[in-house]
């Protein structure tokens, strides 16, 4: 493990040296991300590994908690109250069988691998799981750990005019526990919060919106920005040279450049896609968000999170408790699975055909699984004790199954994996050293992932 607290100096470009402790202090002073010298220091000190710059990640967050026993870890020999109504089918990867309700997954299983032994010890409530699975930790002691994308933003910065971290279509809503959802910059600061689309890209009248997170500016600044945009549309350079621009804070200037950037607008413009491609992904919110995620990483965004749903209340989701206001197993079969199956398989195929999959990890995570036994309402309830995750691209060898659950899918029995291991796996794919440290609250060193948690190396070898 790298010792960032030692006094041993790390060599930098040009022959200068930086001590590990100095690296941490420098990182703690930056509220807006690393400058170039700081970035070079981080790279040389070991936080950023060689070959990272072409890497990206699309995190599909399956809000609601899919039933692993009904989808990716089926138990056909278990009693009927465990195995459920669906049958397993073969895939194009001999090692993998999945549910009959995911036929398009079966055609591309050679590109993804399944980890069937995920678990965590957090509360069985949605937002607690959201925190743990997107940050690798539970929020304790008032410390909000940053989302993986915020860490990427802090360590790697952006490429071109596009933000390094984007959430589609918008941030998660409430999950019932009144807890933060984990989709923020946390102690790294609001400058590393994601840019959220705040629109449904499947709507016929969808237009590329202004990309400034509304909580970064007050009503006065918002009105000023609108007036300025009317004045400077098509004349960004002149605006940036104006006195008004110089008076703006760094965040606002950066956001305005993004809002008026032709590169950014082109990346977000789905009208540039052929109808056949848009149809392949599905003309629904999730499908078009997956297509947009592909466009964004293709244009330089480093980390995109796609929320399959926005809340577990008031819409059909993976949250299959069986009775209203939640989803039934039939609702999952007839509504959720078809749109998810179509969009996920389209995304993997599209990335592969464009040569992007080798450098773009697609991670499909959720806050937990579902109870092994069907409940009296004909659904399944929250179950963080065992669930599955899917990984494709970004160096992952497809067609594999990692870990194993017991005969009813209740607990891992081989290769148990916790949220920190999943986060470390994504960081490894992105070229970040999971054994490095961040400048934490009050400048104290904060491990990138919990000590003892490691990448799932079997996915890559």
Average pLDDT score over residue span 239-252: 49
What integer pLDDT is reported at residue 62 of this predicted model? 98
What integer pLDDT is reported at residue 149 of this predicted model? 98
Q: What is the pLDDT confidence band of residue 64, given thresholds at 50, 70 and 90?
A: very high
CA nearest neighbour of 292 among 451, 58, 15: 58
What integer pLDDT is reported at residue 10 of this predicted model? 39
- Full-model pTM: 0.84
Q: What is the mean pLDDT of the chain?
A: 85
Average pLDDT score over residue span 56-80: 98
Count CB atoms within 10 A of the CB of residue 451: 8
Q: What is the pLDDT confidence band of residue 210, given thresholds at 50, 70 and 90?
A: low
The superfamily CATH assigns to domain 56-208+269-431 is Alkaline Phosphatase, subunit A (3.40.720.10)
Alpha carbon distance 367, 122 (integer Å): 10
SS in 3 state form for the chain? Answer: CCCCCCCCEEECHHHCEEEHHHHHHHHHHCCCCCCHHHHHHHHHHCCECCCCCCCEEEEEECCCCCCHHHHCCCCCCCCHHHHCCCCEEECCCCCCEEECCCHHHHHCHHHEEEEEEECCCCCCCHHHHHHHHHHCCCCECCECCCCHHHHHHHHHCCCCCCCCEEEECCCCCCCCCCCCCCCCCHHHCHHHCCEECCCCCCCCCCCCCCCCCHHHCCHHHHHHHHHHHHHHCCCHHHHHCCHHHHHCCHHHHHHHHHHCCHHHHHHHCHHHCCHHHHHHHCCCHHHHHHHHHHHHHHCCCCEEEEECCCCCCCCCCCCCCCCCCCCCHHHHHHHHHHHHHHHHHHHHHHHHHCCCHHHEEEEEECCCEECCCCCCCCCCCEECCCEEEEEECCCCCCCCEECEECCCCCCEEECCECHHHHHHHHHHHHCECCCCEEECHHHCEEECCCCCCCCCHHHCC
Q: What percent of the chain has pLDDT over 90?
A: 68
What integer pLDDT is reported at residue 169 of this predicted model? 97
Average pLDDT score over residue span 140-168: 94
What integer pLDDT is reported at residue 11 of this predicted model? 36
Domain ranges of the chain: 56-208+269-431, 214-258
CA-CA-CA-CA torsion sign (131, 135, 141, 144): negative
More confident residue, 218 or 121: 121
What integer pLDDT is reported at residue 205 of this predicted model? 85
Stretch among 84-88, 244-248, 391-395 having the lowest mean pLDDT: 244-248
Alpha carbon distance 267, 63 (integer Å): 26
Q: CA distances (Å), 70 to each of 46, 61, 178, 409, in order?
A: 42, 18, 29, 10
* pLDDT (tens digit per residue) in 429-441: 999 999 899 989 8
Q: What is the DSSP pairing of strand 17-19 with strand 9-11?
A: antiparallel
What integer pLDDT is reported at residue 50 of this predicted model? 81
What integer pLDDT is reported at residue 160 of this predicted model? 86
115 φ, ψ (degrees, to nearest 5): -100, 110
Is the pLDDT reported for residue 219 higher than 50? Answer: no
Average pLDDT score over residue span 76-101: 97
* pLDDT (tens digit per residue) in 165-185: 999 999 999 888 888 999 999
What integer pLDDT is reported at residue 42 of this predicted model? 62
Classify 314 in phi/psi space as left (phi over 0), alpha (psi -120 to 50) or beta.
Answer: left
What integer pLDDT is reported at residue 53 of this predicted model? 86
More confident residue, 318 or 161: 318
What integer pLDDT is reported at residue 314 of this predicted model? 86
Is the pLDDT reported for residue 8 higher than 90? Answer: no
What integer pLDDT is reported at residue 261 of this predicted model? 82
What integer pLDDT is reported at residue 442 of this predicted model? 82
Q: What is the pLDDT confidence band of residue 48, given thresholds at 50, 70 and 90?
A: confident
Q: What is the pLDDT confidence band of residue 230, given thresholds at 50, 70 and 90?
A: low
Most confident by average pLDDT, 48-62, 105-119, 169-183: 105-119
* pLDDT (tens digit per residue) in 327-386: 999 999 999 999 999 999 999 999 999 999 999 999 999 999 999 999 999 999 999 999
What integer pLDDT is reported at residue 106 of this predicted model? 98
* pLDDT (tens digit per residue) in 281-331: 999 999 999 999 999 999 999 999 999 999 998 889 999 999 888 999 999
């Amino acid at each position: 493990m790298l010792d960032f607290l030692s006094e041993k100096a790390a060599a930098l470009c040009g022959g200068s040296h930086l001590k590990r402790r100095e690296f941490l202090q420098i990182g703690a002073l930056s509220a807006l991300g690393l400058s170039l010298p700081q970035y070079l220091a981080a790279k040389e000190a070991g936080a950023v590994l060689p070959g990272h710059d072409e890497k990206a990640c699309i995190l599909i967050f399956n809000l609601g908690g899919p039933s692993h026993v009904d989808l990716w870890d089926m138990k056909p020999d278990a009693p009927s109250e465990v195995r459920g109504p669906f049958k397993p089918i073969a895939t194009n990867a001999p090692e993998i069988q999945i549910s009959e309700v995911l036929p398009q997954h079966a055609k591309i299983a050679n590109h993804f691998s399944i980890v069937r032994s995920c678990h965590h010890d957090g509360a069985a409530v949605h937002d607690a799981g959201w925190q743990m699975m997107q940050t690798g930790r539970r929020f304790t002691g008032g410390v909000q750990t940053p989302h993986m994308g915020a860490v990427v933003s802090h360590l790697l910065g952006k490429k071109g005019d596009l933000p390094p971290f984007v959430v589609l279509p918008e941030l998660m809503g409430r999950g019932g526990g009144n807890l933060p959802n984990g989709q923020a910059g946390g102690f790294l600061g609001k400058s590393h919060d994601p840019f959220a689309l705040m629109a449904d890209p499947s709507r016929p009248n969808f237009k590329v919106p202004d990309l400034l997170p509304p909580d970064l500016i007050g009503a006065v600044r918002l009105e000023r920005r609108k007036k300025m945009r009317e004045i400077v549309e098509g004349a960004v350079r002149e605006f940036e040279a104006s006195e008004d621009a110089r008076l703006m804070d760094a965040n606002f200037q950066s956001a305005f450049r993004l809002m008026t950037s032709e590169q950014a607008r082109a990346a977000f413009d789905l009208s540039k896609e052929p109808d056949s491609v848009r149809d392949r992904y599905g003309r629904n919110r999730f499908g078009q968000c997956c297509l947009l995620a592909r466009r964004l990483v293709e244009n330089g965004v480093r980390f995109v999170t796609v929320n399959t749903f926005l809340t577990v209340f008031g819409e059909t989701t993976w949250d299959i408790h069986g009775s209203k206001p939640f989803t039934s197993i039939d609702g999952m079969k007839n509504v959720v699975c078809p749109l998810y199956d179509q969009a996920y398989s389209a995304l993997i195929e599209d990335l592969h055909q464009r040569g992007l999959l080798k450098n773009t990890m697609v991670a499909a995570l959720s806050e937990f699984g579902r109870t092994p036994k069907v409940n009296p309402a004909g659904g399944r309830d929250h179950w963080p004790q065992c669930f599955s995750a899917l990984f494709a691209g970004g160096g992952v060898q497809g067609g594999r199954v990692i870990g194993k659950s017991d005969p009813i899918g209740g607990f891992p029995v081989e290769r148990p994996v916790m949220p920190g291991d999943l986060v470390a796996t994504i960081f490894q794919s992105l070229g970040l050293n999971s054994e490095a440290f961040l400048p934490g609250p009050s400048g104290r060193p904060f491990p990138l992932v919990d000590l003892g948690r490691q990448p799932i190396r079997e996915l890559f070898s």
